[in-house]
Amino acid sequence: MDRVERLTREDYFAAALGLLADGGVGALTIANLCDRLAVTKGSFYYHFAGIRTFHDAFLEHWETGRAYQLSEQVAAVSDPHERIELLKRLGVAVHHEAESAIRGWARTNPRVAAAQQRVDAARQHELATAFVAAGIQEEAAGVLARIGLTILVGTQQMEERVDRGRLAALFDEYQRWLEASAQLARPV
């Protein structure tokens, strides 16, 4: 079996994340994808009709991976405080450099912007839902979820390479701030 038959669309999507992280949207070319995967352009065209088709498939894959898998993972945790801990861990684990590049791409491409907005809305919704389940009023939970998302997005924009330890510390401080203000009272 040769390399072309073993590659999957997901291999190309993973390579795309790496290229975005390393060089931004300008690096997301057929030639760079093939170089990264050590394959010919014929392999690319076996999976995709062209770069636009690839971009659309990549965005759908990325969005599904972020929004729908997040929803499934969070739904599997019933305790609201454990949900918040899970959301913090997931927020730290994101491929931040690739997401930062996707955010840059979104500023010039409406399709990318729409996908990014849906991913952010899903994240904010999951966080707000966890806050409501933990006893925070719905309106306040929405605002607090927006603040949590802003910590994530702001960190991605401020740091070329996100320091995951520092981001985790920011999320921990954010949680302490919520708990100290009695917005997120832990059960005794």
Question: Looking at residue 4, what is its pLDDT?
Answer: 42
Domain count, the chain: 1
CB contact at 8 A, 183 and 138:
no
Residue 29 is assigned to a structural domain of this protein: yes
Is residue 187 in a domain? no
Is 188 domain-assigned? no
Assess if residue 185 is contained within a domain.
no
How would residue 3 be classed by pLDDT, with cut points 50, 70 and 90?
Answer: very low
Domain span including residue 156: 3-180
The band of 6, judged by pLDDT with boundaries at 50, 70 and 90, is confident
Max Cα–Cα distance, the chain, nearest Å:
61
Q: Please give the structure tokens belonging to residue 26.
A: 């300008």
Residue 124: phi and psi, rounded to 5, are -65, -40
Residue 123's contacts (CB-CB under 8 Å, 6 or more residues apart) are 66, 67, 70, 91, 149, 152
pLDDT at 155: 96
The tokens for 143 are 């605002």
Q: How far is Cα 162 from Cα 92, in angstroms, rounded to an integer? A: 9
Q: Measured on CA atoms in the order 32, 36, 37, 39, is the torsion positive or negative?
A: positive
At 2 the pLDDT is 46
User: What is the rounded CA–CA span in Å between residue 102 and residue 75?
Assistant: 26
Tell me the CA distances in angstroms from 147 to 23, 63, 173, 178, 181, one per residue in order.
29, 21, 12, 11, 15
Tens-place pLDDT, residues 73-113: 888 999 888 988 999 999 999 999 999 999 999 999 999 99
Contact 3, 39 (CB under 8 A): yes
Question: How high is the pLDDT of residue 183?
Answer: 59
Quote the mean pLDDT of the chain.
90
Q: Identify the CATH number of the domain in which residue 27 sits.
A: 1.10.357.10
Predicted confidence (pLDDT) per residue in 10-20, tens digit: 999 999 999 99
Cα(56)–Cα(47) distance, integer angstroms: 13
Is residue 186 assigned to a domain? no
CA 85 to CA 71: how far, in whole Å?
14
